[in-house]
Amino acid sequence: MESVFLSLSLSLVFIVAGWGNKTGMVLATYHRTCKLVHRAVDCNRRWQGTVPEDLPADIEVLFLDHNTIRTLKNTSLRQYQNLETLSLRENRLELIEPGAFLGSRDLKNLFLADNTLFTNYSVTAAALRSLQTLRKLDLSGNHLTEDMVTTMLCNLSSLESLSLARNIIMRLDSSVFESLSQLQELNLEKNYIYEIEGGTFEGLQGLKMLNLAYNYIPCIVEFGLTQLKMLNASNNIIEWFLAVEVDAVFELETLDLSHNRLLFFPLLPRQSKLRSLLLRDNEMSFYRKLPNATSLMDVTVQFLLIEGNTTNVTTLSLWEEVSLSNLSSLNFLDMSQNQIRYLPDGFLGRMTSLSHLKLNQNCLETLHIQEREPLGMLTDLDLSQNQLSELHVDLGSEGTLPNLRLFNLSANRLQRVPPNIFTHTEITTVDLSHNHIDLCPQQANANGAEYPICIDLRNVTSLRKLYLAGCGLEMVASNTFSGTSLTHLDLSNNQRALARGLQPLKDIALMLQVLSLRNTGLSSTMEDIDFSGFQNLVSLDLSENSLTSFPESLSGLKLHTLDLRRNRLPSLPQHSMQKQLGRSLSVLYLSQNPFDCCKLEWWDFLHSLRTVRVVDRGQVTCNYSSNIINTVGLPESVLQSCRAPGRNYSQCGAGCPALSMIWGACHKHTAKGSIKSLLYL
Ligand SMILES: *[C@@H]1O[C@H](CO)[C@@H](O)[C@H](O)[C@H]1NC(C)=O
Ligand SMILES: *[C@@H]1O[C@H](CO)[C@@H](O)[C@H](O)[C@H]1NC(C)=O
Ligand SMILES: *[C@@H]1O[C@H](CO)[C@@H](O)[C@H](O)[C@H]1NC(C)=O
Ligand SMILES: *[C@@H]1O[C@H](CO)[C@@H](O)[C@H](O)[C@H]1NC(C)=O
Ligand SMILES: *[C@@H]1O[C@H](CO)[C@@H](O)[C@H](O)[C@H]1NC(C)=O
Ligand SMILES: *[C@@H]1O[C@H](CO)[C@@H](O)[C@H](O)[C@H]1NC(C)=O
Ligand SMILES: *[C@@H]1O[C@H](CO)[C@@H](O)[C@H](O)[C@H]1NC(C)=O
Ligand SMILES: *[C@@H]1O[C@H](CO)[C@@H](O)[C@H](O)[C@H]1NC(C)=O
Ligand SMILES: *[C@H]1O[C@H](CO)[C@@H](O)[C@H](O)[C@H]1NC(C)=O
């Protein structure tokens, strides 16, 4: 019965597919186990132990990933003579019989990742040799050693892309890739390579992408692959990178040396097309200012090159070498997480195309951007997590950083930034958090004069996002933010900044969308805690303050996210949630407030809204006669004593008798809507 149905549906299928193409529709149809779309067949994850024999003979693409095939037999693919792409990832493939591909000589893409092809590699190698038009081969994750690889790649001269990732290759020499003259892309990621003999990649004249990430390569010297566009040698143990000293133009565009042990800025090709240079997480520094070095020329490094039984000592004057390379096309430079104390004079001046510079997590103490090294294209500058106490920027008439948009100075030791640093820029985002700064205008001191050290952000018209967390800000004056277009403001962890309430934010209240006032000493007794002017606010963080009552003015806002953690709120007024706030709010944080266990009507109401997600729901507690109890799953005993009429309920005050009456009523008229929430208790 089933097989009749199958053949019926199959023949139907092909007629339909034929029509489908005329109308331009892509139709998926179903074989016994596989899904067919035009000439592509998807048999992934079907517990197949063999290649299905009854697929349409003209298929071009066959996916058999995540099955249990152990052997690809001479006969397995015989009827599929048009096959161009075959994928057998994650099977249990141990063997490909020598004649397996004789019927499918047009195969161009073969994906064999995550099998156990090491078992019979020499037989499998014979099968691969019959693929004279193979372009793309994936042998990753097959426990292959360099000798096995050498055998398997022999004569695959049509290959353009090869992955040998996640094997157990330890060293490479010139015999391994000898025959792969067409190769453009080679992935050797995640092997155990500790040695690459000179000449290994020499025959690969078309090689553009080389991935050596996650190996054990200790250094790259005499780098001379002029044809390469991208070299990824990240996550090795590289201490030196030296290019050969020739004047030939290197095609190199991307060089990733991040997560290594570089001690020196790499000695790059003199002429290259380098756009991205990634040096994150190394041990780099510049050494001219070593304690006893008096001039640039004093700082030389001797490289010991040992090849065979000959040893060569190369002495390099580092900074000279660095300055010899042309970096005018460099666009992205990441030197974060290193040990850089200073930048040599003129270092940035040669990088005339630089748009992103990351120097965060270094040891910079001062930085001087000079007028003669104009960073005209720079848009993003990250200097966060250094020890900067001084920042100098020479301001040319046109501005030195005319395109700067994002400036991250977070976590330094700055007390000031150069005056007018933000004029003649396109600055939208400034992060000054975790510096000890103050904002202008300052409160007058005893003599009536302003304190001189402050950062003036007034009239920086392009400014949208400002982060000032943990700056130890003094009381912010009323026109501090005037003339800006702030939509995001973080004032968290500044206990004194808003000592007199929200008045300093009046100028920008209507523009603000995201505001963090965490731990800013706000209390409900403050004279001005009126949020009604913040009509465009979407996200508000009021956590870690001393609010003893919910600010009524929040009820009229269109907040999406509200954080009220760690305050002193006894309840959340239900009526607030019945207004605008209840309609827009979708994310709410409430834990660590002394909510009253006997007054949780609002909690139930919140739940009934279904639109508000209390993210920390499991941590919300309430307070019942000095006990802190989880609000979710409040014990019945507590609920009952809450309802008990004569209960000494200290916080009730004068309203106590009336409340007991309502509770009494509740017991009798349980279905009454208005007090339904009490039923929950
Ligand atoms: C598979 O084909 C190869 C080469 O065509 C041949 O040497 C071998 O004997 C065949 N194996 C089987 C099991 O038919
Ligand atoms: C490799 O190809 C060459 C010439 O195309 C041929 O002479 C040689 O026998 C082949 N080697 C193997 C192992 O197939
Ligand atoms: C280099 O390889 C690593 C590991 O696969 C990867 O995370 C990183 O993004 C690669 N770098 C580039 C520039 O593609
Ligand atoms: C610097 O010079 C002084 C005196 O000449 C010497 O005692 C000290 O060891 C030197 N420091 C370094 C790092 O070479
Ligand atoms: C050094 O290597 C060369 C060839 O590489 C060899 O002829 C010579 O004997 C070796 N010398 C020593 C001292 O091992
Ligand atoms: C060693 O130096 C000599 C002369 O400078 C040079 O010809 C030779 O190629 C170098 N050998 C190595 C292994 O760098
Ligand atoms: C600034 O850098 C810090 C630390 O590196 C980071 O946490 C913060 O998100 C960055 N600020 C911006 C606005 O990107
Ligand atoms: C809980 O309420 C009691 C009075 O009922 C009060 O003394 C205590 O401080 C409250 N606990 C907290 C954490 O607010
Ligand atoms: C129709 O044919 C075109 C070109 O031959 C092909 O790209 C497309 O995938 C086909 N669509 C269907 C539904 O068979």
From the list 240, 223, 221, the residue with the least C-alpha distance to 231 is 223
- From 619, 634, 649, the end of a domain falls on 634
Whether residue 678 is found in the same domain as residue 610: no
Whether 165 and 289 map to the same domain: the answer is no
Residue 656, ligand 2, Cβ within 6 A: no
The values of phi and psi at residue 564, to 5°, are -120, 15
In this structure, the answer to whether residues 192 and 274 fall within a common structural domain is no
CA of 607 to the centre of ligand 8 (A): 25
| pLDDT above 70 as % of the chain | 82
CA dihedral 150, 152, 155, 159 (to 10 degrees): -100
Q: Report if residue 563 sits inside a domain.
A: yes
Torsion angle of the four alpha carbons 488, 493, 498, 504, in this order, in degrees rounded to the nearest 10: -20
- Check pLDDT > 60 for residue 261: yes
Q: Which atom of ligand 8 is nearest to the CA of 650?
A: 5
Q: Are residues 112 and 233 in the same domain?
A: no
Number of domains in the chain: 4
Tokens of residue 2, six digits:
């089933």
Residue 15 lies in a domain: yes
Q: Are residues 677 and 550 in the same domain?
A: no
Choosing from 294, 327, 360, the residue where a domain stops is 327
Task: For residues 143 and 45, state if they share a domain.
Answer: yes
Q: What is the CA radius of gyration of the chain?
A: 35
Alpha helices in 250-347 (DSSP H): 318-324
Residue-number span of the structural domain to which 597 is assigned: 525-634
Lookup: tokens for 339: 């040990």
DSSP state of 522: -
**pLDDT at residue 447 in the model:** 58
The residue with tokens 């985002």 is 429
Q: Is 596 helix (H, G, I), strand (E, B) or coil?
A: strand
- Which residues, at least 6 apart from 660, have a Cβ–Cβ distance to it below 8 Å? 645, 646, 647
The model's confidence at residue 38, banded by pLDDT at 50, 70 and 90, is confident
Cα of 127 vs centre of ligand 2, distance in Å, is 13
The pLDDT assigned to 283 comes to 92
Residue 136 lies in a domain: yes
User: Are β-strands 429-431 and 390-393 bridged in parallel, bridged antiparallel, or unpaired?
Assistant: unpaired
Q: For the domain that residue 168 is a member of, what is the CATH number?
A: 3.80.10.10
Q: What is the pLDDT of residues 437-457, one digit of tens each?
A: 989 886 555 555 555 678 889
Q: Is 181 in the pocket of ligand 2 (CB under 6 A)?
A: no
C-alpha–C-alpha distance, residues 676 and 435, integer Å: 52
Does ligand 2 lie within 6 Å of residue 154's CB atom? yes
Question: Which range among 145-154, 376-385, 522-531, 614-623 shows the weakest confidence by mean pLDDT?
Answer: 522-531
The answer to whether the peptide bond before residue 441 is cis (omega within 30 degrees of 0) is yes
Position 32: which residue type?
A: R
Residues 6 or more apart whose CB falls under 8 angstroms from that of 5 comprise: none
Distance CA 513, CA 534 (A): 8
Neighbours of 447 (CB within 10 A): 6
Q: For residue range 537-570, list pLDDT tens digits in order.
A: 999 999 999 999 999 999 999 999 999 999 999 9
Is 365 a domain residue?
A: no
Sequence-distant contacts of 47-56: CB under 8 A, at least 24 apart: 50/76, 51/76, 51/77, 53/79, 55/31, 55/80, 56/14
What is the atom index within ligand 5 of the atom nearest the CA of 309? 1
What are the tens digits of pLDDT across the range 270-280?
999 999 999 99
Point out the least confidently predicted range of 170-184, 198-212, 295-309, 645-659. Answer: 645-659
Reading the block at residue 366, the tokens are 């001062």
Judge whether 628 lies within some domain: yes
The overall average pLDDT reported for the chain is 84
Ligand 9 atom nearest residue 25's Cα: 13
Q: Which ligand is nearest to the CA of 22?
A: 9
Decide whether any atom of ligand 5 lies within 6 Å of the 308 Cβ: yes
Ligand nearest to the CA of 293: 4
Supply the residue whose CA is at minimum distance from atom 9 of ligand 5. Answer: 309
Query: Do 153 and 13 share a structural domain?
Result: yes
Buried b (16+ CB within 10 A) or exposed e, 501-519: ebbbbebbbebbbbbbbbb
Residues with CB under 6 A from ligand 8: 594, 623, 625-626, 650
What is the number of helices (H) and of strands (E) in the chain? 10, 40
**Ligand 7 atom 14 nearest Cα:** 408
Same domain, 678 and 598: no
- One domain for residues 225 and 85: no
Percent of the chain exceeding pLDDT 90 equals 58
Distance of alpha carbon 360 from alpha carbon 379, whole angstroms? 15
Q: Which residues pair with 406 in a beta bridge?
A: 380, 429
Does residue 322 have a pLDDT over 80? no
Q: Is the pLDDT of residue 458 over 80?
A: yes
- Residues enclosing ligand 6, CB less than 6 A? 305, 307, 310, 312
Q: What is the mean pLDDT of residues 149-162?
A: 95
DSSP string, 602-640: HHHHHHHH-S-EETTGGG-EEEETTEEEESTT--HHHHH
Q: What is the pLDDT of residue 259?
A: 97
Nearest alpha carbon, ligand 5 atom 3: 309
Residues 75 and 150 in one domain: yes
Among 626, 629, 630, 651, residue to substitute to test ligand 8 (most atoms within 8 Å of Cβ): 626
Q: How far is the CA of 292 from the centre of ligand 4 (A)?
A: 6
pLDDT digits (tens, 9 = 90+) for 278-315: 999 999 988 766 655 555 455 666 666 666 677 767 67
- 566 and 531 in a single domain? The answer is yes
Indicate which residue's Cα is closest to atom 14 of ligand 1: 74
pLDDT, tens only, 100-129: 999 888 899 999 999 999 999 999 999 999
When pLDDT is cut at 50, 70 and 90, the band that residue 319 belongs to is low
**Distance of CA 310 from the midpoint of ligand 5 (Å):** 8
- Does residue 233 fall inside a structural domain? yes
Residue 282 C-alpha from the chain's centroid: 19
**In a shared domain, residues 600 and 679:** no
Cβ–ligand 2 distance for 85 under 6 Å, the answer no
Report how far ligand 3's centroid is from the alpha carbon of 257 (Å).
9
> Could you say which of 190, 208, 226 is where a domain stops?
208
> Is residue 430 in a domain?
no
Q: Does 545 reside within a domain?
A: yes
pTM as predicted: 0.82
